[in-house]
Structure 1
Amino acid sequence: MSTTSTAHMRNPNVREVAVTGIGLALPGVATYGDLLGPLPGEGGFDPATGLSGRELRHKDRASRLALRAAEFALHDAGLTDADATFTGVADATAVVVSTNFGNADSICEATDTIAREGVRGLSPLGLPQTSSNVIAGWVAIRYGLRGPNLTICNGTTSGLDALAWARNLIVAGRAEAAVVVGVEPANEVATRLLGEQSTDAAVAIVLESADAAASRGARPRATIAGYARARDLAAALTSAGVTEEKSVGLWLVDEAGADACQLLAATRQIDLEAQLGPLSGALGVLQCAAAAAHLESDATTGNVLATAGGPHHDAAAALLLTP
């Protein structure tokens, strides 16, 4: 996604898009308010008990984490009933997933099986897990969501890119709402690819047009005001609308960007990966959840900026959120 879409996102004539639901499947974090720190380090989601159940059978770990986070987010948004059945407009609800390592373990398992036994050794129950869009597909199937459905696998900026894609679908009229999921699993394959211990992390954000949210009495937590992806962080910030005149009360940063911008040097910073471990594709979506918590707790201290990427990456992305 280029920076050319950013001007359209800041156009006051387009529909506003708000965060109306948040769900976490993140060990040691009970609520999204905990993301503002210090983290409790205990409680919250327990993978040992939270990833079991009939509806989660024969699914890869990332899909199971994503389904739990989506369940919590849709409930939080008031879009499911007592039986966890979706009550929104299914034909107009999109699913956008951000993950970089999501089903890599399933793909490795399938290729190892083919090497040992040939294609006849593959299980028909496991083969669907090798699809690049399997996580988004399972979320859509579980809730009968028939809007646009896609997966973003875009490196360090993936989570912020997914939020921007979902917002654009709503602004363009392709959807009235979107479930955005950022998810990464803790398994041997992800750990080998990362070069360090991977983290179980799933977060889901429900985005809706402000009109749709107001029509059903939903409570908006934050509004996406600007987004840009560029070759460096300074260019991304400029295109996203971050200026000296526009107050930023909290900067959700990653290690790559922490020392790359003098404009925000005095702004309060939170680096979620420093506290939780590597988040990869889940980072940007988790930053959005933390931004909503900040804006709910103290909206008078300015907007929230989330960034990912920087000098050591091939791109940087910036997302600006307002009350």
Structure 2
Amino acid sequence: MSGTTVLAPEATRTPVITGVGLALPGVETPADLPGRAEPGTEPVDPAARIGKKGLRYKDRATHLGLVVAHDALRAAGLLEGEKLDTRLTVEPSSVAVVVSSNFGNLDSVTDVVDTVAAEKSSRLVSPIVTPNLSSNVIASEVAIRFTLRGPNLTVCNGATGGLDAVGWALSWLRAGRARYVLVIGVEPDNAVVRKLQGTDRVLDGAAAVVLELPATAAERSAEVLAECVASTRTSSVAGCVAALTGDGGAPAGWYVPEGADAPDADVLPGVDRVDLAGVWGRASGALGVLQVASAAARFAAGERGALLTVSGSDGDDGVAGVLVRPGRD
């Protein structure tokens, strides 16, 4: 996904969002997300959301990923039931999973490294925790729990990871690799993450969206929340914005990248800017998925104009963007 590649096919091939799942402090449903209220102080309790069975020995990021997967699949109509009593309503091999997380299992990895360093041996490392050392642990645990047997991938792409994950989903759908793609962005809050991020304000949460093609959604009479009109990956914020808005004019709003390097005021002047990191803390690999989920929630609340989501800054190794608009009536 390097270089400048814009994907904007005809409407019948424009992937749509049919489900959203959120695990954020103070947020009960997607309807709570478009507002800019400060998040609550209580962290999300995964056991209360999806039941405690199957959570033991799994790390925080996996817990949060399971929560949003459960809610997004149910919202899209791909999963029946609640908590522990659920059943997939479509062919398992038709559902793919792509997760974006840069720090998801880092606390598990550092715990094991510290143990090995202290003991000069791995004999005290429990086999129970070793699955948590896999970079793909969140995506694989989601697939196991909900019997999702399509393509399965984890993206650890730094600042652009969340929107890169969305880009992979769009490619899989257009190539016929899957009929449905569950995209998850998740990052945990712990001492290791705070140290690496250089701030105490980091996201402890996750977001998920379910993507499919319009014809597939129509077959199921699924509600279309939003359309992913086009996506790109470039080397600059200005280039990303130009590639996605050059033909259609300015969007109604845009979700800006996080970090110290704010987008230049000359880029989309006068367009409403939304900084989710300013509300939830540094979101890293979860940011792009959270941006897209927030845009879909705004459409559900009545927003009619297209929204631009951008992750990564000119100082990063890339900038990714996705242009999202309301689902067609």
Structure 2 SS opposite 1:311 = coil
Q: CA deviation at 1:260?
A: 2.4
TM-score calculated relative to the size of structure 2: 0.91
Per-residue deviation, residues 59-98 of structure 1 (Å, max 9, x unmatched): 1110011001111111111111122222122101110000
Per-residue deviation, residues 224-266 of structure 1 (Å, max 9, x unmatched): 1111111111222233x31274341111113457432624111
What is the total number of aligned residue pairs between the two structures?
319
Hey, what does 2:24 align to over in structure 1?
26
Amino acid at match of 1:109: D
Q: Quick one: distance in 2 between partners of 1:135 and 1:260? A: 36
Assess if the C-alpha contact under 8 Å between 2:12 and 2:213 holds in 1.
no
Superposition pairs of residues 151-162 of structure 1, within 5 angstroms: 151-162=154-165
1:113 equivalent among 102, 115, 118: 115
Hey, what does 1:38 align to over in structure 2?
36
Percent identical residues:
41
Worse-matched range after superposition: 83-92 or 164-173:
83-92
Structure 1 SS opposite 2:86 = coil
Hey, what does 2:145 align to over in structure 1?
142
1:229 equivalent among 205, 212, 233: 233
1:92 equivalent among 88, 91, 94: 94
**Is 1:280 aligned with 2:278?**
no
Superposition pairs of residues 78-227 of structure 1, within 5 angstroms: 78-82=77-81, 83-117=85-119, 118-197=121-200, 198-227=202-231
Hey, what does 2:66 align to over in structure 1?
67
- Which runs of 5 or more structure 1 residues have no equivalent in the other structure? none
**Is 1:15 aligned with 2:13?**
yes
**Is 1:262 aligned with 2:260?**
no
Q: Quick one: distance in 1 between partners of 2:108 and 2:168? A: 26
With over 3 angstroms needed to count, the CA separation of the structure-2 counterparts of 1:40 and 1:273, relative to structure 1, is: closer
Assess if the C-alpha contact under 8 Å between 2:166 and 2:289 holds in 1.
yes
Q: CA deviation at 1:45?
A: 6.3
Q: CA deviation at 1:153?
A: 0.6
Structure 1 SS opposite 2:114 = helix
Amino acid at match of 1:60: D
Structure 1 SS opposite 2:223 = coil
With over 3 angstroms needed to count, the CA separation of the structure-2 counterparts of 1:13 and 1:79, relative to structure 1, is: closer
Assess if the C-alpha contact under 8 Å between 1:179 and 1:207 holds in 2.
yes
Structure 1 SS opposite 2:171 = helix
